[in-house]
């Protein structure tokens, strides 16, 4: 995949902007029983793509697939924060898989300095992701609970009034 620019990867995989959150994504699996779902995502600077702070009521498993490293910022209940690097440099502490626990705020972005200009990843959720699960994080609320992460929160918080996600193709209507 080295040598491919973000536009080529986006076009090849058919990625589209995920409403509210900002990730370029494609839903790749949804069980007929609604027990699980999976998606591909991409972060880059051109075109701009990242994940704004949000939380889900279920665990989310992240999988690194290729390109440069990406950074996840987690804000756990009780004021604890955590940074996870997913990427190809395993001996440098990067991981290929991580779990974001239910109820933790999460945001993510591509890490500059790599050779590709993009990060390709996947996420798996059980039960299946439904846009009603999404809760976007507001800057003032997050800074009050995690002041040590103010710089990340300033850059990656949802705008007031943009904290819910519209229904996505393939979801069942409530």
Residue range 79-97, pLDDT digits in tens = 999 999 999 999 999 999 9
Which one-letter DSSP state was computed for residue 141?
A: H
Structure tokens at 115: 């050779």
Residues in the chain: 174
Q: Are strands 37-44 and 24-30 parallel, antiparallel or unpaired?
A: antiparallel
What local confidence, expressed as pLDDT, does residue 173 receive? 47
pTM for this prediction: 0.93
Q: Is the peptide bond before 41 cis (omega within 30 degrees of 0)?
A: no
pLDDT one-digit tens code per residue, 125-174:
999 999 899 999 999 999 999 999 999 999 999 988 888 887 766 666 44
CB 40 within 8 A of CB 15: yes
6-156 CATH pick, 2.60.120.10, 1.10.645.10, 1.10.460.10, 3.30.470.10: 2.60.120.10
Adjacent-strand bridge partners of 61:
99, 124
CA angle 90-150-119, nearest 5°? 30
Looking at residues 29-55, what average pLDDT do you find?
94
What local confidence, expressed as pLDDT, does residue 169 receive? 60
């Amino acid at each position: 995949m080295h040598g491919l620019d973000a536009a080529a990867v986006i076009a090849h995989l058919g990625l589209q902007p995920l409403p509210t959150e900002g990730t370029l994504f494609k839903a790749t699996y949804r069980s007929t029983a609604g027990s699980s779902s999976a998606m591909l995502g991409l972060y880059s600077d051109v075109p701009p793509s990242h994940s704004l702070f949000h939380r889900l009521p279920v665990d989310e498993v992240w999988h690194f697939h290729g390109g440069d490293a990406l950074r996840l910022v987690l804000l756990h209940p009780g004021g604890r924060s955590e940074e996870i690097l997913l990427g190809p440099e395993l001996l440098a502490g990067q991981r290929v898989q991580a779990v974001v626990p239910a109820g933790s705020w999460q945001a993510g972005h591509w890490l500059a300095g790599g050779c590709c200009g993009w990060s390709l990843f996947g996420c798996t959720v059980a039960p299946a992701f439904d846009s009603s699960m999404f809760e976007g994080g507001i800057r003032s609320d997050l800074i009050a609970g995690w002041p040590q992460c103010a710089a990340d929160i300033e850059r990656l918080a949802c705008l007031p009034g943009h904290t819910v996600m519209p229904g996505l193709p393939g979801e069942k209507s409530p």
